[in-house]
Chain A
Amino acid sequence: MDDDLIQRARTGDQHALEQLVRRYQDVAFRVALVITGDRDEAQDATQTAFIKAVQALGSFRTDAPFRPWLLRIVANEAKNRVRSRARHATGPLDERIVSLGPSPAELAERNERHRELLAAVRTLSLPDQQIITYRYFLDLSESEIASLLGCPRGTVKSRLSRATVRLREALVSGQGGIIDV
């Protein structure tokens, strides 16, 4: 499906380009949000990334998956914006960025578990929050995360493993996974 859209977008087909953007703008924007913690910067980073991706479509290998390639560009744009400011605006899972959806009353137990779990993830270090978000909340594969981060897949596996260990410690202790500042 992507191959056809990409081929058409390369020829200047605006409708194909629009479809490509709409197909990936959610996950792209959320990756940018996770990195920047700021809606405006995330929007700017995502828009710039799409523009660059469109301009680079001519060199994109159509036998390669499009999403990880795009998300790598988004991540780089988002990181550029983070580095240009002195302080990180907010955590990647701040309440302004994600919240728990509504739950039926009969699922109160599940809702409570998820509330605790989200609170515990929010106590982790920012890199741990990011990698857990990529894998479990944005459903990116380890290969996609490796491409996004520009590191080997083995590194992603080990970082995920450590992050989940620290998350479990935070849940069991009820005090957070890292030093409270």
Chain B
Amino acid sequence: MSSRWSDITRDDLELELAALGARLDWSPTPDLAESILATQAAPTPLPRARHRRHWLAAAALVLLIVGALLAGSATVRTSVADFLGIDGVRIEFGEPPAAPVETPNLGTPTSMQDFVRWLPFAPMQPAALDQPDALYLHVLENGDVLGLMAWPPDDALPQAAETGLGALLMQFEPPDDIYMMIKTVGTSTGSITETTVNGEPAWWIEVASNLTIFGEESIDSRSTANVLLWQQGDIGFRLESALSMDEALAIAESLEPVS
């Protein structure tokens, strides 16, 4: 198979795909007209439309940090106000969302097989931890899919009060034109520290914060524990836990492809 395609250009590949598309036989379309017309005789009421709040037209995933940086931390505030170096990540300052919900909505529970199939990249997991206890797929408002791995609390993973979990690892493919945003408001204490994971820029967020995800069904807002945020290759990662920065870094640096 490989030799036939080794020199193909992208333009030629697109032409081949279009030619293939023209030859495909699809499963036959059922005749829907009759059944649809029949319903017009006895129309059913439309379900109530979902209320969509568009926080930002382009934002699908928003991290909101409620609680300003330490008073007097002008240096840190300036450094994190820049574009962070993870594709699509930006820090801004703004108002928090509505009151957070108690129980985090992690998405749809899934198997490892579907976890691998639904994510548009090769997912990773930390070798420093056991197999995750649960896997979730969270569909964003624009149809992109986040993958989440959850570990229960144990001797090595203290329970994070915000999630009830020992660790929660989110992985995603940051698109070019929507972005993750960190907003800080208020005057509570905490810090955002720039660090590295395997030599790549990373941010340790240890401040009272809210996470808001604009999913297809709802806008979920909840309090978060400590967060390590970084990018490895083309994939973004977010590790949430009650661990220290060094402990979180050790986990982050142990990522390997899912086996």
Contact = CB atoms under 8 A, between A and B. Distances in A.
A171 B6 CA distance: 8
A116 B1 contact: yes
B2 A154 contact: no
A65 interface: no
A8 interface: no
The interface size bin for chain B is: 35 or more
Contact of B177 (A39, A150, A155): A155
Contacts of A128: 120
Contacts of B25: 98-101
A181 B112 contact: yes
Contacts, number: 187
Interface in A111-130: 113-114, 116-118, 120-121, 125-128
B178 interface: yes
**Which of B32, B39, B258 has the most CB atoms of chain A within a 10 A radius of its CB?**
B32
Interface in B115-142: 116-122, 139, 141-142
Interface in B171-187: 173, 175-178
Interface in A150-181: 150-152, 154-155, 158-159, 162-164, 167-168, 171-174, 178-179, 181
B21 A139 contact: yes
B216 interface: yes
B103 interface: no
Contact of B2 (A30, A52, A138, A173): A173
Interface residues of A, number: 72
A50 B32 contact: yes
B118 A88 contact: yes
Contact of A125 (B35, B117, B144): B117
A150 B23 contact: no
Interface string A130-159: 001001111100000000011110110011
A162 B120 contact: yes
A174 to B, nearest CB: 4
B78 interface: no
A61 interface: no
Contacts of A110: 19
Nearest to B6: A172
B28 to A, nearest CB: 9
Nearest to B15: A136
A125 B17 contact: no
A47 B35 contact: yes
Nearest to B109: A86
B113 interface: yes
A100 B23 contact: yes
Nearest to B258: A179
A2 interface: no
A55 B43 contact: yes
Nearest to B45: A55
A5 interface: no
A125 B18 CA distance: 20
19 contacts: A17-B40, A18-B33, A25-B31, A26-B26, A43-B30, A50-B32, A83-B217, A101-B23, A125-B119, A126-B118, A136-B17, A150-B143, A155-B142, A155-B177, A164-B10, A168-B5, A171-B1, A178-B122, A181-B117
